[in-house]
Amino acid sequence: GPSTYAQIDLNRVDNYPGGLQDVAKVTMGRFTVAPAYQPFMVSYIDGPPVGTCLVSNSLNGGDPPFATDSGLDAGTQLTISGPNGNQNVPLIAGGGDAETTISANGSYLSAGAYTIGNGSGGADVKSFSAAISIPALPNMTSPQPDSANPFSVNRSSGLVVTWTGGSPNSSILLTGQSATDNTFTTGAAFECSLSTSGSTFTVPAYVLLALPAGSNARLDFLPSAIPAVFSAPGLNLGFVSAQRDYFASLTIK
């Protein structure tokens, strides 16, 4: 039968070509899965083990094969409370994805404890309160993030990524993609799971050799808080995540 889920993402992102912004993204939906794929759903939504990478021959990384997907009505807005005050995130009437800039200069999502609630709720998802703690997250140092000059990568040599800082209560996802042309319709992508206990990781040559060469490529360094689980009447699964997104343009040779 259909399942219901909620994903609340608190993200600090590079506001290219300079600066930061804090964004809240809310996805609430009802989905079913084609019977042939049901035994493999955990594999579709799971990430690679720490220290390993996965490669996909498409730019979307291999979306789960939902047979149907529809939005959920969870009320009119979410309220986020944290060390820097409160922020409201409007929700779409009747359900659907919602994304709101909660700080245009990236000054809201500092380290600390946050709670998220939806007041009296909506027709599908009733009232809930979720909590997450954002630790000090790692800072990417190489390749240079948010640079106007693409970082040149020789596929046969691998790609060394370095960072500083971090916390045991955080993790790092490293993703990359390269398109065959500037329409960004065809290409390949990879993702690697990294431990914050280190300060460097080399994307193996055999991963990069699966990507097409060219200048239509990017790298995202994504340190995150450990996701928090919450429950609510009308939901089978509820998650809150907090993430920092470092972006670097690549030229792959």
Q: What string of DSSP letters covers 213-238?
A: PEEEEEEEEEEEEPPEE---TT-SEE
Yes or no: say if 1 and 32 are a contact pair by the CB < 8 Å rule.
Answer: yes
The arithmetic mean of pLDDT across residues 25-49, rounded, is 81
CA-based nearest residue to 11, from 90, 102, 88, 93 = 102
Burial class from Cβ neighbours inside 10 Å (0-12, 13-18, 19+) for residue 161 reads buried
Query: What pLDDT, on the 0 to 100 scale, is given for residue 66?
Result: 66
β-pair type (66-71, 139-142): unpaired
pTM: 0.88
Percent of the chain exceeding pLDDT 70 equals 95
Query: What pLDDT, on the 0 to 100 scale, is given for residue 213?
Result: 95
pLDDT at 150 over 80: yes
| Dist CA 113 CA 176 (whole Å) | 30
Whole-angstrom CA distances from 40 to 16, 31, 46, 65, 188 are: 37, 15, 10, 10, 22
Query: What pLDDT, on the 0 to 100 scale, is given for residue 70?
Result: 81
The arithmetic mean of pLDDT across residues 64-86, rounded, is 86
Question: Looking at 1-15, 102-116, 129-143, which range is the least confident one?
Answer: 1-15
Yes or no: say if 218 and 250 are a contact pair by the CB < 8 Å rule.
Answer: yes
When pLDDT is cut at 50, 70 and 90, the band that residue 62 belongs to is low
When pLDDT is cut at 50, 70 and 90, the band that residue 31 belongs to is confident
Q: Which residue has the tokens 């506001």?
A: 15
The arithmetic mean of pLDDT across residues 19-44, rounded, is 84
Query: What pLDDT, on the 0 to 100 scale, is given for residue 58?
Result: 87
Query: What pLDDT, on the 0 to 100 scale, is given for residue 228?
Result: 94
| Dist CA 146 CA 191 (whole Å) | 19
Query: What pLDDT, on the 0 to 100 scale, is given for residue 68?
Result: 60
Average pLDDT, the chain: 90
Query: What pLDDT, on the 0 to 100 scale, is given for residue 63?
Result: 62
When pLDDT is cut at 50, 70 and 90, the band that residue 64 belongs to is low
The arithmetic mean of pLDDT across residues 227-248, rounded, is 93
The arithmetic mean of pLDDT across residues 79-88, rounded, is 96
The arithmetic mean of pLDDT across residues 56-65, rounded, is 74
Query: What pLDDT, on the 0 to 100 scale, is given for residue 215?
Result: 93
Burial class from Cβ neighbours inside 10 Å (0-12, 13-18, 19+) for residue 233 reads exposed
Q: What is the CA radius of gyration of the chain?
A: 19
The arithmetic mean of pLDDT across residues 37-45, rounded, is 75
Give the chain's length: 253
